[in-house]
Amino acid sequence: MNNLKLDERLCRIEKLLLGNKKVLSFDEAADYTGISKSYLYKLTSLGKIPFSKPGGKIIYFDKDKLDKWMLQNQRLSEFEIEQSAINYIQKNKHK
């Protein structure tokens, strides 16, 4: 097996293992979110992203809170907007 395929397989295995963790280190959080380490540090220093510093130095992230943070400010698709409008009209048709 060539090195490229082996590296790809190792990367997939690491991602699977990372998906099972609840608490992530700073480096793991950067990998998990796809955010650069410098920008992630900026987000933590500005208090824009949820994190913990139990010992006062090392930064940890709760994976569930990261998921919620990444999914905030969702935008509805055109289909979802249309469905919502149809449901609203049907619900208020008899008023």
Residue 67 amino acid letter? D
What domains does the chain contain, in order, with CATH numbers? Answer: 22-91 (1.10.10)
pLDDT in tens, 31-46: 889 999 999 999 999 9
pLDDT for res 42: 97
Task: Convert the pLDDT of each residue in 54-70 to its tens digit.
Answer: 988 899 999 999 999 99
Integer Cα distance of 63 and 19 in angstroms: 9
Distance CA 33, CA 49 (A): 12
pTM across the whole model: 0.66
Q: Residue 87: is it exposed, middle or buried by C-beta count within 10 angstroms (0-12/13-18/19+)?
A: exposed
